[in-house]
Structure 1
Amino acid sequence: MKNLTFNKKILLIIIFSIGFSVLVSFLFIHYLYSKLYVSSIEDSIIHQGKRTASHYHYGELSDEIIEKIQWYNVVSEYEIIVVDDLDELSSYFPYKINYENLIDSHDQSELEEGKYVMKEGFVEELNREILGAIFPIKGDQGLIGFIYIYVPLEAIQDVFSDSIPILLIAGSLFFCFFFLIITRIWKSMFKPLQDLQRLSDQVSIGNYSDIIQTDRQDEIGQLIKAFNQMSLSLGQLEERKKEFTSNIVHELRTPLTYIGGYTEALKQKIYTSPEEATNYLATIQKETDRLSKLINDLVDLNYLQENSYSTNMEPIAIAQLLFDTIDLFEIHIKEKKLHLKLDIEEDLVVLGDSHRIHQVFYNIIDNAIKYSLSSGAILIKLKKVNKAVQFQINNDGIGIPKEDIERIGERFFRSDKARNRTTGGTGLGLSIVKEIVRLHEGKFTISSTQSTGTTITIQLPYLDIEGAEI
């Protein structure tokens, strides 16, 4: 059974159902025969036998009475035999039922006690079943005779002879209708499943473009829609993987090319002055630092995305942490002649990992400065909004295209790919920021237009002064 395919199992179930229906129909007809037809004959025999025997209580079984009974035998549908003694019954037909004598010792005892005895069985001479009964006739001095009433039973096919054509026609129509229904259900169930099997084969070899069109709303329809969505998601994931591989190869190739080229130049002493050699060494150092930062950021991001990672949560005076982070960029702000505006509430407390929150501030402020225009403005806000501490930073640099907004924060994704060398970024900073915010059960949003610049908003759960998280 385990080796059978699903459709073969369903076919076996259908065949079993049909067989079961036929069996139930047979049993039902047999029930009608045995319980209704035979029972009605038995009740009639008992009623007629008792009635006949009761006419002769306390009388004698005279020739006149026997003649009346025999006359009744002629006009009745029953065969009636009247005898004075039980031994005489053995000489009347049928004298054997089921190939055994009509009367045995137990039957004789019952009759002598005044009870009637039912007889049912096969009679060879008639080649059919009979149903009968023997009734004792009482006189003044006890039993004076016996009445034997029996009737040959019609065969079951004879009983239902008038109904069989109707049953055959109704049965044929039923099975034709049943076959049509099963065929429709078969196609309805297995055609989508076969399509799913075909699609799964395509997915297994890396083809994620095919989908199954369906307007079904049942479980199979929901399964198809879920599979379509899974296929599309796998396709998108595959594209992202290819892009990720391409990006990381690109990120590694350029610094390695610089390092290899300048190292070979220094090794071959291909330079014109000590200053040029020093510049080569500086470039090697710069590209080495870039590689180191790239590897560290990748390790850090993977570490943050592991389900087993847990933050070191503690109450943080977040305003002071923000001020300390801003101080680290004082030189860069002066170099680009940026105008820094601060709107910070200084008594705010959050429950979080101070090292990771500092990492969030550092990456976001670093990006805001890198992508600001010279002599531009940066606005930093830190306020309590409802039940959250909201950090917001805005710069008036070049805006991010609308189609790139949703992808900000993906690994290695840069909206302006031409700036990756001048800014020195790895394309992982915002990915790390989003993971840290997620681990703190916060929210990260970004908006950007050419007129207002780019705004990043982060909300973290607020902690009241008693240390209870709101």
Structure 2
Amino acid sequence: MFTMIRNLTLAHKIWITISLAIIGTIFFSYILSNYFYEKYYVENVRKTLQEEGSQLATNYNGGEITDQLIDQINWYNQMSEPEVLLITNPRELSACLPFDIDYESYIDEEDRERLLRGEHISKIGYEQKMGHQILGVIIPLLDGNRLEGIVYLYTPLANITDMINDITNLWIPVAILFVILSILLGRKIITTLIKPLKQLEQAAQHMSMGNYTERVEITTNDEIGKLAQAFNDMACAIAKEDERKKEFLANVSHELRTPISYVKGYSEAIVDGVVKKQEDIQRYLKLIHREAARMQRLVHDLLDLSKLESSVYNLTKVPLVFSQLIEESLAIYEPILLESEISLNMMLDPEIIIYADEDRIEQIIHNLIDNAIHYTEKGGNISVQLKKAKNNQCELIISDTGIGMDEKHLNQLGERFYRINKARTRKDGGTGLGLAIVKQIVVAHNGNISFYSKVGEGTQVHIAFQVLTN
């Protein structure tokens, strides 16, 4: 059963749901009609008979039932719609009725006790000759503690089926027309609702086969339209990520191709005996060692970046005196700066404390200083400034007087393998992963990084971190 339902199409499920809803509505209407019939119609008739009987009973003042009272009730019987009988011997009620009904119409002992207490009694039964149910009400005529007689009022109840039959001739054609219109209109509505879902299904199948250009037409602003929009956004994101993956693989292949070719060529020259002089062999071995180190750095940076981009990487955060960490990190650059004839200026606020991973923050400083030294010519200047900023933050600014760059490149700094010089020569820069690693470390510390640069005037890197407060 469940397997069959699961294999149905959405259109079939909607039709089944609508059909069950219609059947349920009809059944509920039937139950509700009977309830109101019993609750309001029958109760209203019973109340009316009781009021009429009680009014007639007020003409009885005790003692024997007089001919005058009998004449009054007979006259009322002729004038009123319900039948009214005055019975002086309640035990002979069934013999006084002009027809037989399918219940014990005489007054039994229990009824007699109720009548003696002044209560009204009502009974319902079916009368064959009339073809209707009969509602009867018995009103006692009491003389003290003695039951002298009863006023019996009865009337046929209208059958609810009769009322339905009166409108059947009109209802059937209208119902048939309604069903036809429902089929035609319902089919159109369901087709309209299902169409974008079918498009989604087809587009998802195409995407599963590697076609990420598929898009779904958005025709509505409802939930299905929002689903289609979400699907298109997802498709764009996947397509972009696929392009990034392809670009990443191409970049890795490009970066590895040169050192691998060098290592292979130099090693073959040594193995094949092409290079025989000892000094040439040593030079070739140094080149092999340099290229192997280059591949090692590339693989290390890739692994580092992969860890930082994953959500499972855990930082070991501790309170750090930021200025002290900066000074210790820059100490190793003194010989390089002297050799490059580049001056270094530091303006550091010693009171700034941050909660961060010491090794990763030191990695940020090294990568940025390496870039600054690489792109700054002899006689240039590098400035490192640490100061307090707004919103309980601190700002680290590393600026140089290097060659700078065009502003169009600033938004792409920090992307994997992005380099300004597309020639990708080792002279112009490294693998393009250093700033990507810096950006990921800053993000992992809930910080912000921004770049400012002009061609020929140098570059500034601004990094903001939250300051640790007491």
TM-score by length of 1: 0.82
Question: Which residue does 1:421 correspond to in 2?
Answer: 426
Aligned positions, number:
459
**What does residue 442 of structure 2 align with?**
437
Distance change >3 Å, CA 278–CA 176, structure 1 → 2: same
Unaligned runs of 5+ in 1: none
Q: Runs of 5+ in structure 2 lacking a partner?
A: none
- The answer to whether the 8 Å contact 2:337/2:343 transfers is no
Q: 1:144-223 alignment to 2 at 5 Å?
A: 144-158=148-162, 186=190, 190-214=194-218, 216-223=220-227
Distance 2:313 2:360 in 1: 16
Partner of 2:387: 384
Q: In 2, Cα distance between the equivalents of 1:156 and 1:312?
A: 82
Q: Over the residues paired in the alignment, what is the CA RMSD in angstroms? A: 3.7
Shift of 1:129: 0.3
- Once residues 418 and 182 of structure 1 are traced to their aligned partners in structure 2, the CA distance between those partners, rounded to angstroms, is 63
| Residue type of the alignment partner of 2:416 | R
Deviations 1:288-324 (A, max 9, x none): 1111111222222233344332135332414523541
- Indicate how the Cα distance of structure 1 residues 28 and 179 shifts in structure 2: closer, same or farther if over 3 A, else same: farther
What letter is aligned with 1:342? N
Residue matched to 1:309: 314
Q: Hey, what does 2:334 align to over in structure 1?
A: 327
Matched, 1:340 2:343: yes
Amino acid at match of 1:320: E
CA deviation profile, 1:190-218 (whole Å, cap 9, x unmatched): 44444333333333322222333437555
Deviates more, 1:154-163 or 1:207-216: 154-163
Select 2:410's aligned residue among 378, 384, 405. 405
Establish whether residue 393 from structure 1 lines up as the match of residue 421 from structure 2: no
The TM-score normalised by the length of structure 2 is: 0.82
SS for the counterpart of 1:239 is helix
Q: Aligned partners of 2:289, 2:129: CA distance in 1, in Å?
A: 120
Residue 166 (structure 1) shift: 9.0
- Counterpart of 2:297 in structure 1 is 293
C-alpha contact 1:325 1:362 (8 A) present in aligned 2:
no
Q: 2:82 aligns with which of 78, 88, 93?
A: 78
Deviations 1:102-157 (A, max 9, x none): 44342244345554421212122322101112333345994443332211112224
Q: Using a 3 Å threshold, how does the CA distance of structure 1 residues 245 and 135 change in structure 2: closer, same or farther?
A: same
Aligned to 1:69: 73
> Within 1, Cα distance between the matches of 2:67 and 2:352?
125
8 A contact 2:87–2:96 mirrored in 1: no
Q: Does 1:123 align with 2:127?
A: yes
Contact 2:125 2:135 in 1 (8 A): yes
Measure, in 2, the Cα distance between the counterparts of 1:216 and 1:277.
73
> Equivalents in 2 of 1:462, 1:50: separation in Å?
93
Distance 1:243 1:210, change over 3 A: same
Distance 1:449 1:94, change over 3 A: farther
More deviation in 8-17 or 307-316?
8-17
Moved more, 82-91 or 235-244: 82-91
- Asked if structure 2 preserves the Cα contact closer than 8 Å seen for 1:341 and 1:378, the reply is yes
**Residue pair 2:315, 2:357 contacting (<8 A) in 1 also:** no
Structure 1 residues 215 and 458: CA distance shift in structure 2, 3 A: farther
How far is 1:230 from its partner?
Answer: 1.9
| Stretch moving more, 112-121 or 259-268 | 112-121
Q: Does the 8 A contact of 1:131 with 1:152 survive in 2? A: yes
Counterpart residue identity of residue 207, structure 1: N
SS at structure 2 position matched to 1:125: coil
